Amino acid sequence: MANRPEGLPDHIQHYINGDNVDSISGETFDVLEPTTNETYIQCASGDKEDVDRAVKAARKAFDEGPWPRMLPRARARILYKIADEVEKVNAELAAIESFDSGLPIRQAQGQANRAAENFRFFADLIVAQVDDAFRMPGRQVNYVNRKPKGVAGLITPWNTPFMQESWKLAPALASGCTVILKPAEFTPTSASLWPAIFEKAGLPKGAFNMVQGFGETAGDALVKHPDVNLISFTGETTTGQLIYANCAPHMKSMSMELGGKSPAVIFADADFEAALDSTLFGVYSLNGERCTASSRILVERSIYDKFVEAYAERSKKVKVGDPSDPDTEIGALVHPEHYERVMEYVEIGKQEGRLIAGGGRPEGLDKGNYLQATAFADVPRDARIFQEEIFGPVVAITPFDSEEEALELANDVKYGLAAYVWTNDVQRAHNFAHNIESGMVWINSHNVRDLRTPFGGVKASGLGQEGGYRSLDFYSDQQSIHITLGDVHTTRFGATGYAENDLGLGGPSA
Ligand code: NAD
C-alpha cells in the first residue's frame, strides 16, 4: 500500500449538530485503497437512526437557527471564508483524494480550487440576486418572495467526490437551506475534511450535517425521511430511478445528475490534432470515471483510418501507474467491484469491436485496480460497449459517412448528458449541436464550463438543470405576493350580486 496520507483520523465518523459521532449501532465498514484493495480505514456506517438524528439537527437549525434568516451578504461572508478554508487544504485534499479513489495526483491537485470557486461563485450570486416584481399601475403590485426550501438531502458519487460535494453544498447553503450530506461509500475519506472547514468559517451549528454509509441504508433513509424537503442526487441512472420513486410519496423536489455515454463527433474538416488530444483526454482523464467522458468517438470515414491509427498509437503510450506518481496519467480504478464491472465490458468489447489498444492489466502491476487505456474501433451501434456506460478508460470508435448518419449515431443511445463536435464549418457546428439530444455540447473544445451556464442532462442522463441561478432556484421556493393598491373590487355575492361589466373573476388582469 502507498503511504497513508497524513492527518487522517483513526476512523471516519458522521458529523451531526456540530459533533463528530459514531453510528448509534456502532457499525462501521471497510474503506479500501485501490492500488492494493487493502482496508486502510474504518468508516461509520449510518442507518435510519443516524439519519433521523441528522435530520432533527438540520430541521432545528432551519426552523430556529440563524442561517436561513441571515442577510445574503452575511451568508456570503461565511461562504467566502469556507472557500478560503477549502483552499488551505489543497495539498491534503489532493493526497487523500488520490489515495482513496486512485485518481492520479496531478489530476487531484486542482480539485480544492474548483471546490472553493463553487462557494465564491454562489456567494456572489446571492448578493447580486434580483427577483421579479410586476406592477399594474394604480391597481396591484406583485413580487417574488424567495425563501430557502428547507432541509436538503445531498447524495453524491465517488468520482471526484469532494468537488461533487461542493457543487451541491455551495448552492444549498447559499440559498439558506440546512443540509445533510451522504457521501459515496467507496470514497468517504475526503468528506471528513468538511466539518473543520465549516467550523473554522463560522457556519452555525446544525446547518451542515453528514451521515456516512451505504446507499441502501443511509441514502435510502435520507430519501424517505418525511422531514427532508428536497433531494439532490448525482449517480447512476438506475439509482436515480429508484430515488425518483421513493421521493414520490412525499412529493419531494428532486434534481438528478445521472449517467452518460457522450459522443465526440469528428468531421474531416476539423483540426485533427486538437480533436485527437481532446478525445484522448476526454475518456482517459480522471481514470475514465467521468460522467461527461467522450466515451463514443464518431469519425468521418475519410479520416477514419488515420484517426484510429493515431488514437491507438497514443493510447498505447498513456502512462498507467501509481496514482501518487506525478507522471501517472491513469491511476487505479476506484474499487474492486467497479473494476470487475469495467473488465467485463472489456471482454464484451473484444467480441463486439476491434481492439486497437490496451484491453487488460498493464505489465508489472499485478495487484490493484489497474487497466490499460483501452480503445475499440469499428464498434457497431447495437454493441453494448456503444450503448452502455462503462465509466472507465474504455472508448468505442465508429465511422460515419454523412452528417445525417453522424447525428443518428450520436442520438441513438438512452443517455443525453454531453456531446463534443469537431468541425471548422461554423454553420454545421451550430446546426449539428442544436440537433444533438444532450444537455451540453462543446464545439471544438473539451469539458470546460462557465459556472453560470446550465449543467445537466436530458433523456436518461438527468432531471432538472443546475448551474448559476438555476441551482439557487432549485434550493428555493419562489412565493408570489400580490397586493392591491387601490380599492378592492369584489363581486358582492349575497348582496348586490354581479355588477354591470363584472366578469366575476376577481381581481385585475394584465
Ligand atoms: P451510484 O448511483 O451507485 O451511487 C451514488 C450515490 O447514491 C452514493 O452515495 C450511493 O451510496 C447512493 N445510493 C445508492 N443507492 C441508493 C438508494 N437506494 N437510495 C439513496 N441513495 C443511494 O453511483 P456511483 O457509482 O457512486 O457514481 C457513478 C455514476 O454517477 C455514473 O453513472 C456517473 O455517470 C454518474 N455521475 C453523473 C454526474 C452528472 O453530473 N451527471 C456526475 C458524476 C457522476
The pLDDT score that the predictor gives to residue 500 is 73
pLDDT of residue 9: 85
Check pLDDT > 70 for residue 510.
no
Which of 45, 111, 159 gets mutated to test ligand 1 (max ligand atoms within 8 A of its CB)?
159
Choosing from 33, 291, 352, 466, which is the catalytic residue? Answer: 291
d(CA 450, CA 460): 24
Question: What confidence score (pLDDT) does residue 504 get?
Answer: 52
pLDDT value of residue 509: 54
Q: What pLDDT score does 497 carry?
A: 86
Residue 421 φ then ψ, to 5°: -120, 130
Least confident of 5-9, 219-223, 279-283, 313-317: 5-9
Q: For residue 442, how many other CB atoms are within 10 A of its CB? A: 22
Q: Tell me which residue has its CA closest to atom 4 in ligand 1.
A: 235
Does residue 257 have an active-site annotation? yes
Q: Using a 6 Å cutoff on CB, does residue 213 contact ligand 1?
A: no
Helix (H) or strand (E) holding 420: strand 418-422
Q: Tell me the per-residue pLDDT of 94-126, one tens digit each, with 9 for 90 and over.
A: 999 999 999 999 999 989 999 999 999 999 999
State pLDDT tens for residues 413-457: 999 999 999 999 999 999 999 999 999 999 999 889 999 999 999
Average pLDDT value for residue range 47-51: 98
Nearest protein Cα to ligand 1, atom 34 = 259
pLDDT digits (tens, 9 = 90+) for 314-329: 999 999 999 999 999 9
pLDDT given at position 218: 98
- Angle among Cα 48, 33, 102 to the nearest 5 degrees reads 105
134: β partners = 142
Would you state the pLDDT for residue 378?
98
* Closest alpha carbon to 218 in 52, 61, 31: 52
pLDDT, position 8: 85
What is the pLDDT at residue 202? 98
| pLDDT (0 to 100) of residue 328 | 98
Ligand 1 pocket mutation, candidates 47, 51, 155, criterion most atoms within 8 A of CB = 155
The 10s digit of each residue's pLDDT in 480-497 is 999 999 888 888 999 988
For the chain, the first-to-last Cα distance in angstroms comes to 70
d(CA 429, CA 410): 14
Distance CA 443, CA 425 (A): 11
CB 111 within 8 A of CB 94: yes
- Residues 67-96: tens digit of each pLDDT: 999 999 999 999 999 999 999 999 999 999
CB atoms within 10 A of CB 335: 21
Ramachandran angles phi, psi of 271, nearest 5°: -70, 105
Rounded-to-5 percentages of helix, strand, coil across the chain: 40, 20, 40
Give distance in angstroms: CA of 427 to centre of ligand 1.
37
Contact 55, 151 (CB under 8 A): yes
150 lines ligand 1 (CB under 6 A): no
pLDDT at 507: 52
Query: Nearest to residue 229, comparing CAs of 253, 212, 246?
Result: 253
* Chain position carrying cell 393598491: 485
Q: What's the whole-number mean pLDDT along residues 158-178?
A: 98
Look at residue 110 in the predicted model and tell me its pLDDT: 86
Angle at 227 between CA 245 and CA 153, to 5 degrees: 65
> Residue 205: its pLDDT value, please?
98
Distance 139 CA to ligand 1 centre (A): 51
SS3 annotation, 51-88: HHHHHHHHHHHHHCCCHHHCCHHHHHHHHHHHHHHHHH
d(CA 111, CA 163): 6
What percent of the chain clears pLDDT 90, i.e. is strictly above it? 92
* Residue 291 annotated among the catalytic residues of the structure: yes
153 lines ligand 1 (CB under 6 A): no
pLDDT at 502: 66
Distance CA 227, CA 250 (A): 9
Say how far apart CA 196 and CA 8 lie, in whole Å: 13
Alpha carbons 252 and 72: distance in angstroms, whole number? 25
> pLDDT of 322-365, one tens digit each?
999 999 999 999 999 999 999 999 999 999 999 999 999 999 99
pLDDT at 287 over 70: yes
pLDDT value at residue 426: 98
Q: E strand or H helix at 348, and its extent?
A: helix 336-352
CB atoms within 10 A of CB 324: 18
The ligand 1 atom at the shortest distance from the C-alpha of residue 157 is 26
The Å distance, Cα 183 to ligand 1 centre, comes to: 10
Residue with the three cell numbers 476539423: 270
Say how many Å lie between the CA of residue 259 and the centre of ligand 1. Answer: 8
Mean local confidence (pLDDT), 294-323: 98
Task: Flag whether the pTM goes above 0.85.
Answer: yes
pLDDT of residue 506: 52
Q: How far apart are CA 280 and CA 294, in angstroms?
A: 9
- Point out the catalytic residue in the list 85, 165, 257, 289: 257
322, 2 contact by CB (below 8 A): yes
Q: What is the mean pLDDT of the chain?
A: 96
203 pLDDT higher than 60: yes
